[in-house]
Amino acid sequence: VLSMAAGVDHILSDPSLPASVPVLRLTDAGMGDQIAEYVALGALTHIRGMLDYLDQQRRQVWQSNENRRAQETTVGILGPGTLGRRAAERLMALRFHVLGWARQPRLESFEVHTGSGGFERVVEQSNILVCLLPLTDQTQRVLNANVFERMPPGGFLINCARGAHLVLDDLHGALDSGQLHGALLDVFPDEPLPVGHGLWAHPQVMVTPHIAARTMVDDACLQIAENLVNLAMGGKLTGQVERATGY
């Protein structure tokens, strides 16, 4: 089974899927650059206070606010895989300090932590927290009140993974208390986001309709075709999912 996306949770959750059938995901297919741009947009939006300025514009208020510098800002990437690595490279080019958290140790051009202790260290240092995790039983509701409370005050959340990673009520609480200053959200537990939902009008939240990264057809077809050739020739498949871990 070949997925037309990087995520495969929708495939693995199908009870009719035989355990013996390999599942392949797209490893990039043009999505890396898009994710990098989206994450950079969110990070720059936060440090330049653009949500505050948009709110001031609506209220016709002319007021200069203090900015945070990129080199003084730590961005934590949960899930520094193929897409997360591209996001980290773009952020480092903008002089952000980048940390990552992964399930297994990996060598990257930025600092990557593992394990529950490593997760806490990344969260506690992250002025901006980016979720690019695969959706598994272990990562559902991972963005919750406990995580937001551990972040430095005035933090910013970027979720462009899956809506089920985020506990919306906990996000509302963190925003209302000022523990989080804002959020850029591309995915939601229910999509489309229901009409009348409070996030639509929240002045410190940017909502986008699951567009952080679209599958580029030409790139996806080439990758799928290469896998089909490798399958026929007995070659190595790319993007094969470990069924035990869900990615």
Annotated catalytic sites, by residue?
162, 210
Which H, E and C letters describe the chain, residue by residue? Answer: CECCCCCCHHHHCCCCCCCCCCCECCCCCCHHHHHHHHHHHHHHHHHCCHHHHHHHHHHCCCCCCCCCCHHHCEEEEECCCHHHHHHHHHHHHCCCEEEEEECCCCCCCCEEEEHHHHHHHHHHHCCEEEECCCCCCCCCCCECHHHHHHCCCCEEEEECCCHHHECHHHHHHHHHHCCEEEEEECCCCCCCCCCCCHHHHCCCEEECCCCCCCCCHHHHHHHHHHHHHHHHHCCCCCCECCCCCCC
The Cα angle at residue 104 between residues 21 and 121, in degrees rounded to 5: 140
Residues facing 77 on adjacent strands: 100, 130
How far apart are alpha carbons 47 and 52 in whole angstroms? 11
Residues 6 or more apart whose Cβ sits within 8 Å of residue 244: none
